[in-house]
Amino acid sequence: MRRLPIELSQGQLRVSESGLFLDAHRKAACAFVSHAHGDHIARHERTIATAPTVALMRHRLGSKVKGDALSVGYRKPFGLGDLTLELFPAGHVLGSAQLRVTRHGVALGYSGDLCLQPTLTAEPAEVVECDVLVLESTFGLPRYVFPDKGEVLAEIRRFVDGALSEGATPVLLGYALGKAQEVLKFLGEAGYRCRAHPVVHAVNRVYEAQGVPLPNVELLGPEGPLAGEVVVAPPHLARTSPILRIKDRRTAVLTGWAVDGRRGFRGADAAFPLSDHADFPSLVRYAKATGAARVLTVHGYARELASALRQEGIRAEPLVEREQLELL
Ligand SMILES: [Zn+2]
């Protein structure tokens, strides 16, 4: 079979016949980092990312991160050996980027984590026209259809109002990077007084330094929230003392997985499908919009999404390990 412009080897994505890794989770000599979520970052010798991603990586990995970081703006093509690279917004979290790599006239698009609904705290996603697309498949099953984000935010607001009217503290559980800032931006700008868990607060400071103000948000200290305040915390810390100390609380989990139902969300009172990923119909639409003649799916429901794309007449397959390919 003709060689693909990208390969997966020992779990790492690499542009074929080049030293450029994509979202490598082990140290690499040179890596493009699409965004700063934990499963996409490592201490590379050379990092290519947007300025907010570099700042968020430094925050997450500590100031002792060595190596070069090349901060690149969106839509500013540049050369790397025989490759031309260009970054485009991915709409996932602040600074998140898609990458287009062009070599010998063939354009490879890499979506990274992608969100196609408008967001309050990230640059809106753009369509990356390309010949071969590497597409994330987190929600790559037909049952993952998200409501309009405006409706989800309105539901969250009703939940908050309901808790406050009962004299309880609403506690919203959202991932510390991205989800938390989006809901804080929404509520803070609507005039709600919010308290951010220390882990969220530290990320908020990076967002603010990168030009995303979060008004009406203060640190959740040991004294806990005041009456009438809303608390935002990461889900994995829902059962730690700063939250458990809040006596009368109503908790809600904010996650795309909420479309699967409320069970399993750590005993929360509610779950809302606020997602920073594209849903299934958006992934299919996006794949078509790029004009790619071939789509390679990665992460999550890669096999299922590829199969659905083939039914739409798109040549698609999950990206598999190079060793497996050689057996074919
Ligand atoms: Zn992510």
pLDDT in tens, 318-327: 998 866 655 5
Tell me the average pLDDT across 220-231.
Answer: 96
Residue 37 Cα to ligand 1 middle (Å):
5
Query: Among residues of the chain, what percentage have pLDDT more than 90?
Result: 88
Least confident of 32-36, 50-54, 96-100, 321-325: 321-325
CATH number at residue 290: 3.60.15.10
Residues 41 and 87 in one domain: yes
The mean pLDDT value for 82-107 works out to 97
Q: Which helix (H) or strand (E) holds 155?
A: helix 149-165
Cα 274 to middle of ligand 1, angstroms? 14
Per the domain annotation, does 117 fall within a domain?
yes
Residue 310 lies in a domain: yes
Q: Let me know whether 165 and 80 are in one domain.
A: no
Residue given tokens 């490879």 in the structure block: 108
Mean pLDDT across 83-94: 98
Distance 154 CA to ligand 1 centre (A): 24
Residues 222 and 190 in one domain: yes
pLDDT score at 1: 44
**91 inside domain:** yes
- The rounded Å distance from CA 51 to ligand 1 centre is 17
Centre of ligand 1 from the C-alpha of residue 298, in Å:
13
Spell out the residues 6+ positions from residue 42 whose beta carbon is closer than 8 angstroms to its own. 24, 25, 26, 27, 28, 31
- Residue 1 within a domain: no
% of the chain with per-residue pLDDT over 70: 95
The tens digit of pLDDT for each residue in 134-144 reads 999 999 999 99
The sign of the CA dihedral 25, 31, 104, 127 is positive
Query: Ligand 1 center to residue 158 CA distance, Å?
Result: 27
pLDDT tens figures, 163-184: 999 999 999 999 999 999 999 9
pLDDT (average), residues 53-61: 93
Same structural domain, 26 and 118:
yes
Q: What are the tens digits of pLDDT across the range 14-27?
A: 999 999 999 999 99
Q: Identify whether 223 is part of a domain.
A: yes
Q: Could you tell me the distance, in angstroms and rounded to a whole number, from the CA of residue 74 to the centre of ligand 1? A: 18
Ligand 1 centroid to Cα of residue 328, in Å, is: 32
CA of 313 to the centre of ligand 1 (A): 28
Question: How many angstroms does the Cα of residue 92 sit away from the middle of ligand 1?
Answer: 7
What is the C-alpha separation between 179 and 275, in angstroms, rounded? 8
User: Where residue 213 sits, what CATH number does that domain have?
Assistant: 3.40.50.10890
Task: Mark whether 137 and 161 lie in a shared domain.
Answer: no
* 38 plus 156 within the same structural domain: no
Confidence category of residue 110, pLDDT binned at 50, 70, 90: very high
Residues 298 and 313 in one domain: yes
pLDDT tens digits along 261-291:
755 676 899 999 999 999 999 999 999 999 9
Alpha-carbon distances of 89 from 71, 123, 173, 245, rounded to whole Å:
14, 6, 26, 39
- Ligand 1 centroid–CA 110 distance in Å is 14
Rounded mean pLDDT, 191-197: 98
**How many structural domains is the chain composed of?**
2
Q: Is the pLDDT of residue 49 over 80?
A: yes
Q: Which of residues 232, 252, 272 is at a domain's end?
A: 272
Q: Do 255 and 282 fall within a single domain?
A: no
The pLDDT score that the predictor gives to residue 260 is: 87
Give the model's pLDDT for residue 264.
Answer: 60
State how far the alpha carbon of 153 is from the alpha carbons of 49, 78, 82, 119, 187, in Å.
30, 38, 45, 11, 9
What is the distance in A from the centroid of ligand 1 to the CA of 35? 7
CA of 53 to the centre of ligand 1 (A): 11
Does a structural domain hold residue 282? yes
From ligand 1's centre to the CA of 113, what distance in Å?
Answer: 5
Final residue in a domain of this structure, among 272, 291, 308: 272
Q: Flag whether pLDDT at 64 surpasses 80.
A: no
Within this chain, do residues 102 and 160 fall inside the same structural domain, yes or no?
no
Write out the residues surrounding ion ligand 1, Cβ under 5 A: 37, 113
Task: Kindly state whether residues 174 and 92 are assigned to the same domain.
Answer: no
Supply the mean pLDDT for the chain: 94
Q: Are residues 259 and 156 in the same domain?
A: yes
Sheet holding 68-71, edge to edge: 6-9, 12-15, 21-22, 31-32, 46-49, 68-71
Assess if residue 98 is contained within a domain: yes
The reply to whether 10 and 138 lie within a common domain is yes
- Residue 116 CA, ligand 1 centroid: distance in Å: 13
The residue segments making up the domain with residue 131 are 6-143+277-327
